[in-house]
Amino acid sequence: MFKDGLLADEVIFVTGGGSGLGKSMSLRFAELGARLVICGRREGILESAAQEIEEATGSEVLALPCDVRDLGQVEAVVQAGIDRFGHISGLVNNAAGNFLAQTETLSSNAFRTVVDIVLTGSFHATLACGRHMIEKGRGTVLSITTTYAWTGSAFVVPSACAKAGVLAMTRSLAVEWARYGIRLNAIAPGPFPTEGAFSRLMPPGIEEAAIRKIPLRRFGEHQELANLATYLMSPQSAYVNGEVVTIDGGEWLNGGEFNHFTSLPDEQIDGMFEQLRAATRKPSK
């Protein structure tokens, strides 16, 4: 789908690039020639991911521990990337935090923790890279948001608020920074299995029901998301700006009034509809 060396001119900073979807995207970018800066809170995991990606692709990876909630730490990583590679041309705001909870039980700190990682963290990385990209006159920023950024969702209020903010930041800066040659886009994934997300968001026994909600009847594959991210980070998407691309097998559209009937067997659907039709049929004259 992509030609070799598509990202050879790119240096891409991926927050949370040592695990989960961040690692899958990083690997794909490196396969296509990008040099990488990856950060995360767990140094060991980060270093082994960097080594794995370098060995698999031959691309250089700079891995540095960093908590995106701290602007100083993010700025230090961005500066280290620039010192090592000469510039940073792309940023993927991927680092996230989330958990399921009944909102009335949350502490202020619980809300703040998720918002700080997701929204403030994305702002920090965008700010630190953006200042450098403005100087260079080019840059691409991709943020991983979610479909409930616009629908909202029960039991993940801090994450929904934060992801909605990331989407608003994306669209605002897509206009404000276009004049500096910087594009900002977002991806809204549905469920893609990762240890980080599924251990917090997929209660045991719920997987089958979760799959039934998805019109395509399966979870996403990492490669599918990584390819979409590659397109949006590459010069091939040069005219796409301020967009959010959903990749969820149709899941979010399936929340409508009658869509849940699709999880019933065909005969049952036919039977239900026929019953209603019979009950409302006009009497023949």
**Which sequence positions are flagged as catalytic?**
148
Contact between 97 and ligand HXC per CB under 6 A: yes
Contact between 249 and ligand HXC per CB under 6 A: no
Min. distance of Cβ 102 from ligand HXC in angstroms? Answer: 9
By CB under 6 A, name the one of 196, 227, 242, 250 that touches ligand HXC: 196
Q: Which is nearer to ligand HXC, 33 or 191 (CB)?
A: 191
Q: Which is nearer to ligand HXC, 48 or 54 (CB)?
A: 48
Q: Which is nearer to ligand HXC, 40 or 139 (CB)?
A: 40
Q: Which is nearer to ligand HXC, 18 or 97 (CB)?
A: 97
Contact between 202 and ligand HXC per CB under 6 A: no
* Secondary structure of the chain in HEC code, one letter for each residue: CCCCCCCCCCEEEEECCCCHHHHHHHHHHHHCCCEEEEEECCHHHHHHHHHHHHHHHCCCEEEEECCCCCHHHHHHHHHHHHHHHCCCCEEEECCCCCCCCCHHHCCHHHHHHHHHHHHHHHHHHHHHHHHHHHHHCCEEEEEECCCHHHHCCCCCHHHHHHHHHHHHHHHHHHHHCHHHCEEEEEEEECCCCCHHHHHHHCCCCCHHHHHHCCCCCCCCCHHHHHHHHHHHHCHHHCCCCCCEEEECCCCHHHHCCCHHHHHCCHHHHHHHHHHHHHHHCCCCC
Contact between 120 and ligand HXC per CB under 6 A: no
Min. distance of Cβ 9 from ligand HXC in angstroms? Answer: 30
Min. distance of Cβ 39 from ligand HXC in angstroms? Answer: 13
Contact between 114 and ligand HXC per CB under 6 A: yes
**What is the contact surface with ligand HXC in residues (CB under 6 A)?**
96-99, 101, 106-107, 109-110, 113-114, 117, 146, 159, 190-191, 196-197, 200-201
